[in-house]
Chains A and B, each alone.
Chain A
Amino acid sequence: MGRARTIARRSFLIGSAAILGGVAFGAYFVTRPTPNPLLEGLADGEAALTPFVKITPDGITLIVPRADVGQGIASTQAMLIAEELDIDPATATLDPGQPHKAYFNGIIAGESMPFPAWDDGFVARTVRDLMMNVARLTGSQFTGGSSSTADLHESLRMAGATARETLKAAAARTGLARADLRSEDGHVILPDGTRIAYTELAADAAKIEPVTDVTLRPASEWTRLGKPYQRLDIVAKSTGTQDYGIDVALPGMLYATVRANPGRGGGMASYSPDAALAMQGVRSVVEVNEGLAVIADNTWFAFQAAQALEVDWLPPDYPASSAEMWQALAEARTEEFQNSRLRDDGDVEAALNGATVIEADYRSPALAHAALEPLSATVLVEADRVQIWTATQIPAVVRDAAVEMTGLDPSQVTLHALSAGGSFGRRLDHDYVVQAIQIAATMPGTPIKTTWSREEDMTHDFPRPMHMALGRGRVGNGRVLAYDLDSISASLISSWFGRIFVVPPGADTMLVWGAFDQPYAIPNYRVTGYAAPPMMPVGSWRSPGACSNSFFHESFLSELIHAAGADPLEERLRLIADADSRRVLEAVAEMSNWAGADIGPGRGRGIAFAHTHGVPVAEVIDVTLTERGIRIDDVWIAADCGTVFDPVNAEAQLTGAAVYGLGHAMNCELTYENHAVQQTNFDAFEGMRLYQTPRFHTRLLGRAERVRGLGEPATAPAAPALADAIFAATGQRLREMPFNKFVDFA
């Protein structure tokens, strides 16, 4: 009995609404069934509720409200609707829609609760359901946490099915029975073979009650989902014709860029715009959040002039250098700063008391998201309207910011949501859009595109927080007997939520994601989170929390297993009862022909496991020592996200996430001097390049009960698996990232 299905039966209602010349269908979550929530629950100004399917005489539009930042979710959303609607999604227009609470993210709030994703007990389920209702009430619409497919896979199919059956009902009005009609390729087929296009039925469909007693087709009847299909954006992205936020061009548009305090959060004592204003093509210099902006005739002129601004910056009030920041973290491992102890099994203190204690400490540096498309937003402010063109993961927050800044009504704000050239969590903030609105507000009637330079993008990221950990443990009889991990960082939740919403009460679970929530049954097992005082503002970086904690947690577990003399795979299996997790470990062992970490002289094999975003992932990595350094040869990844709707893209997400995890572990960090980031471009922040890319071997098991997303889960175990392989090859334990501080890579 699928848990998601139970929720769906209880809480879905479907509505339709007449729109100009056609019909719109939406799926809407409610806790109490009411007859048509779309129409009756609306306040003034909300009449234009944006649904998932719009059909007009001119064509079919599918609303795909989750942002595509490269993970392919626009296509997946369209395919989910199209499977039930019986259309070729390539013939439909995809539209992200306007921000609306109908598109709230119902999964993500529940996943932030202090229960591991694999915990399906009564309390965990109840709290997740409660949080889903909180999310519904607050209308939080955002794309993140690998949640889109998990959250929408039923509601989008339901919207497609409702639209299909209502169109059939419209076609059946002449006295035919709806049950006698079929649907195929955008048409209703009458018993005599007559084909009526959906577009011809739209106006009639809008006049009737939508058909809500629909059931979703079983997977065995799917014609598109689960089968290899072509991403709907693949031709555009292979021919240079995809429009990204940074590519917007409007008549009369001007161009701007920002120069902000390199010490993020510090103020401005004074400045002189004179030198910049004297430069070619410069229109004006304006004050914006965190610094100044230059408006010019093109982006290059703006970049040049921004460098010519003379500014006396004020320092922010947190430690100025990386050394001081690490020191602040180390000093926060005290009772005063203890934030959580979400895992406390057995009696760790008693188990370690008097025993031979194995200790190790770990560090994970700050990292930029460094999406290849620098942050950009284009804004046109007019007397009664604001239009924003940008790529964002938080459209409602962007809309609300525009409302607050301009005093206009939400209905007067239009967000043109565009594709992002990557994000990795960066577009869960909207600082760049706020600045672009401030800039455009100085020239009403003129559209202005604001583009950050790469240097600005790196300097003013909300980076992954610096994170450190101390592990203490005990082994005996070939087994891991006690495991104690202290995980220390500034609070990501406080920093990020504080910027975009409000800081939620309770523990910062993200600070210990990837550690407290792992499915190991170690008899004495404790994970404690310490939230250090705030430092530079930080943000969600692909697999937040877990991207650091998994490195700490799995690396230390490997150290203990090695000390115990056990096999790293066998001991993990012995410690894990969760069936989904065991299966991915067994699968990766089979795929890689696992026979221990020793694969011959000059080589090494590592393994790591992580359960993040509800997905168990196991990775095995082989490395070879070469004259030029360590070469990563092969990576095996086994994961289970439940039903796979989009297999080609799913494979891409597994390998892409692993490349992201490996590349940064190899050679990336942000360090600070005088509060300023020292790595401001890709010469100092490379990530993985093609010549370093190993062979990948992936398998998705499709056995897990709950559907989950794959944008992030393969990221976290990549770094510890690589460290483990390097240990097997060299005998050297790497306890700090990036690894190229200690070893060379070929």
Chain B
Amino acid sequence: MDLTINGSSRTVDLPDDMPLLWALRDGLNMTSVKYGCGIAQCGACTVHIDGEAVRSCQVALGDVWGEITTIEGLGTPDALHAIQAAWIEHQVAQCGYCQSGQIMQAADLLARNAEPTDDDIDDAMSGNLCRCGTYPRIRAAVHAAASAMREA
């Protein structure tokens, strides 16, 4: 199976019906993509396919329809994306386990909506669970990232 992930071609030898989540984690050791529930209830496994946020636990490997972006494709510690910079500025993370998925969901939102309201953020982000309860800072960081991206 040939995949394009973060602009690079990757090959995995795994069954078509295996969830993309496990192909990324166990097959390609891309462990930024987190397993939390396996049933699309927590959002920890969120990646982009052709720019759209999807739950990788629900996408069969054989059904991948486009280029995959994980959080590494968004930005890195040495070259942060504006959303990651806002997440750092607002010190959102506690345990941090959900945050890759939160950030990928926020990236999808901000690509479609440059100036989201609180309600827009609620609608877009409420599928992403945070058991530590970082929600107030997530809200603030999304607004800050939106502002930074508009000014960029």
Which A residues fall within an 8 A CB radius of B? 69-72, 230-231, 233-244, 246-247, 249, 255, 280, 298-300, 303, 370-374, 419-424, 451, 453-454, 648-649, 652, 655-660, 663, 681-683, 686-691, 693, 695-696
The smallest beta-carbon distance between B13 and chain A, in angstroms, is 11
**CB-based closest 7 A-B pairs:** A659-B133, A240-B32, A70-B95, A421-B97, A237-B96, A237-B93, A691-B122
**Contact partner of B136 among A243, A370, A682, A693, CB < 8 A?**
A693
Is B7 an interface position by the 8 A CB rule?
no
Residues of B within 8 A of A230 (CB): 88, 91
The smallest beta-carbon distance between B5 and chain A, in angstroms, is 13
Complex Cα spacing A370 to B95, Å: 13
Could you give, for residues 99-133 of chain B, a 1 whenever the CB lies within 8 Å of some chain A CB and a 0 otherwise? 11001000000000000000001110111111111
Beta-carbon contacts under 8 Å, B62-110 to A: 70-72, 75-77, 80, 84, 87-88, 91-100, 103
Extra contacts, 15 of them, besides A230-B88, A237-B95, A371-B131 (Cβ < 8 A), are A70-B94, A234-B88, A234-B93, A238-B88, A241-B32, A241-B72, A280-B15, A299-B22, A372-B34, A372-B42, A454-B39, A660-B133, A681-B39, A683-B41, A690-B139
- Given that A239-B80, A241-B32 are contacting pairs, would A422 and B39 also be in contact in the complex, using a CB cutoff of 8 Å? no
The smallest beta-carbon distance between B50 and chain A, in angstroms, is 20
Residue from B37, B80, B130, B137 having most chain A Cβ neighbours under 10 A: B37
Residues of B within 8 A of A656 (CB): 94, 132-134
**Contact partner of A658 among B33, B94, B97, B133, CB < 8 A?**
B133
Residues of B within 8 A of A454 (CB): 35-39
Interchain pairs with CB closer than 8 A, number? 181
Whether B136 and A695, one on each chain, are in contact in the complex, defined by CB atoms closer than 8 angstroms, is: yes
- Given that A682-B37, A683-B41 are contacting pairs, would A690 and B138 also be in contact in the complex, using a CB cutoff of 8 Å? yes
19 contacts between A and B (CB under 8 A): A230-B88, A231-B93, A235-B88, A238-B84, A239-B32, A239-B84, A242-B96, A298-B27, A372-B44, A374-B35, A419-B95, A454-B36, A656-B132, A681-B39, A683-B41, A686-B41, A688-B135, A691-B122, A691-B123
Complex Cα spacing A451 to B26, Å: 12
Residues of A within 8 A of B34 (CB): 246, 372-373, 421
Residue from A234, A371, A648 having most chain B Cβ neighbours under 10 A: A234
CB-CB nearest in chain A for B92: A238
Is B31 an interface position by the 8 A CB rule?
yes
**Contact partner of B77 among A235, A652, A681, CB < 8 A?**
A235
Tell me what chain B mostly uses at the interface: helix, strand, loop, or mixed: loop
Whether B70 and A240, one on each chain, are in contact in the complex, defined by CB atoms closer than 8 angstroms, is: yes
CB-CB nearest in chain B for A654: B133
Residues of B within 8 A of A236 (CB): 77, 96
Which B residues fall within an 8 A CB radius of A? 14-15, 18-19, 22, 25-27, 29, 31-39, 41-42, 44, 70-72, 75-77, 80, 84, 87-88, 91-100, 103, 121-123, 125-139
Whether B122 and A690, one on each chain, are in contact in the complex, defined by CB atoms closer than 8 angstroms, is: yes
Residue from B35, B75, B96, B103 having most chain A Cβ neighbours under 10 A: B96
Complex Cα spacing A554 to B18, Å: 50
Residues of A within 8 A of B132 (CB): 70, 422, 656, 659-660
**Contact partner of A372 among B97, B121, B139, CB < 8 A?**
B97
Complex Cα spacing A280 to B18, Å: 11
CB-CB nearest in chain B for A303: B38
Whether A71 and B94, one on each chain, are in contact in the complex, defined by CB atoms closer than 8 angstroms, is: yes
Whether A231 and B36, one on each chain, are in contact in the complex, defined by CB atoms closer than 8 angstroms, is: no
Whether B96 and A374, one on each chain, are in contact in the complex, defined by CB atoms closer than 8 angstroms, is: no
Whether B94 and A372, one on each chain, are in contact in the complex, defined by CB atoms closer than 8 angstroms, is: no
Complex Cα spacing A69 to B70, Å: 24
The smallest beta-carbon distance between A512 and chain B, in angstroms, is 27
Whether A238 and B87, one on each chain, are in contact in the complex, defined by CB atoms closer than 8 angstroms, is: yes
Complex Cα spacing A683 to B129, Å: 11
Whether A681 and B37, one on each chain, are in contact in the complex, defined by CB atoms closer than 8 angstroms, is: yes
CB-CB nearest in chain B for A369: B131
Complex Cα spacing A644 to B140, Å: 23
Complex Cα spacing A656 to B134, Å: 6
- Given that A299-B25, A691-B122 are contacting pairs, would A373 and B36 also be in contact in the complex, using a CB cutoff of 8 Å? yes
Whether B93 and A238, one on each chain, are in contact in the complex, defined by CB atoms closer than 8 angstroms, is: yes
Residues of B within 8 A of A373 (CB): 34, 36, 95, 97
- Given that A374-B35, A691-B126 are contacting pairs, would A652 and B137 also be in contact in the complex, using a CB cutoff of 8 Å? yes
Whether B94 and A300, one on each chain, are in contact in the complex, defined by CB atoms closer than 8 angstroms, is: no
Residues of B within 8 A of A246 (CB): 31, 34-35
**Contact partner of A682 among B14, B42, B100, CB < 8 A?**
B42
**Contact partner of B131 among A233, A422, A649, CB < 8 A?**
A422
Residues of A within 8 A of B39 (CB): 454, 681-683
The smallest beta-carbon distance between A344 and chain B, in angstroms, is 37
Whether B42 and A690, one on each chain, are in contact in the complex, defined by CB atoms closer than 8 angstroms, is: no
- Given that A238-B84, A658-B133, A659-B133 are contacting pairs, would A231 and B32 also be in contact in the complex, using a CB cutoff of 8 Å? no
Residues of B within 8 A of A419 (CB): 95-96
Whether B135 and A659, one on each chain, are in contact in the complex, defined by CB atoms closer than 8 angstroms, is: yes
Residues of B within 8 A of A255 (CB): 26
Complex Cα spacing A236 to B71, Å: 11
CB-CB nearest in chain B for A371: B131
Whether B135 and A72, one on each chain, are in contact in the complex, defined by CB atoms closer than 8 angstroms, is: no
Whether A682 and B26, one on each chain, are in contact in the complex, defined by CB atoms closer than 8 angstroms, is: no
Whether B126 and A371, one on each chain, are in contact in the complex, defined by CB atoms closer than 8 angstroms, is: no
Complex Cα spacing A239 to B104, Å: 10
**Contact partner of B129 among A238, A303, A451, A687, CB < 8 A?**
A687
Residues of A within 8 A of B122 (CB): 690-691
CB-CB nearest in chain A for B81: A239
Complex Cα spacing A419 to B93, Å: 13
- Given that A373-B36, A656-B133 are contacting pairs, would A249 and B88 also be in contact in the complex, using a CB cutoff of 8 Å? no
Residues of A within 8 A of B123 (CB): 691
Residues of B within 8 A of A241 (CB): 32, 72, 76-77
Whether A249 and B31, one on each chain, are in contact in the complex, defined by CB atoms closer than 8 angstroms, is: yes
The smallest beta-carbon distance between B97 and chain A, in angstroms, is 3
Whether B72 and A240, one on each chain, are in contact in the complex, defined by CB atoms closer than 8 angstroms, is: yes
Whether A298 and B26, one on each chain, are in contact in the complex, defined by CB atoms closer than 8 angstroms, is: yes
The smallest beta-carbon distance between B74 and chain A, in angstroms, is 8
The smallest beta-carbon distance between A94 and chain B, in angstroms, is 15
Complex Cα spacing A371 to B130, Å: 9
CB-CB nearest in chain A for B27: A298
**Contact partner of B133 among A233, A239, A655, CB < 8 A?**
A655
CB-CB nearest in chain B for A280: B15
Whether A657 and B133, one on each chain, are in contact in the complex, defined by CB atoms closer than 8 angstroms, is: yes
The smallest beta-carbon distance between B25 and chain A, in angstroms, is 7
Residue from A238, A419, A657, A688 having most chain B Cβ neighbours under 10 A: A238
- Given that A240-B100, A453-B38, A690-B126 are contacting pairs, would A420 and B93 also be in contact in the complex, using a CB cutoff of 8 Å? no
The smallest beta-carbon distance between B128 and chain A, in angstroms, is 7
Residues of A within 8 A of B32 (CB): 239-241
Whether A652 and B91, one on each chain, are in contact in the complex, defined by CB atoms closer than 8 angstroms, is: yes
Whether B37 and A663, one on each chain, are in contact in the complex, defined by CB atoms closer than 8 angstroms, is: no
Residues of B within 8 A of A370 (CB): 131
- Given that A655-B133, A693-B136 are contacting pairs, would A648 and B42 also be in contact in the complex, using a CB cutoff of 8 Å? no
Residues of B within 8 A of A663 (CB): 133
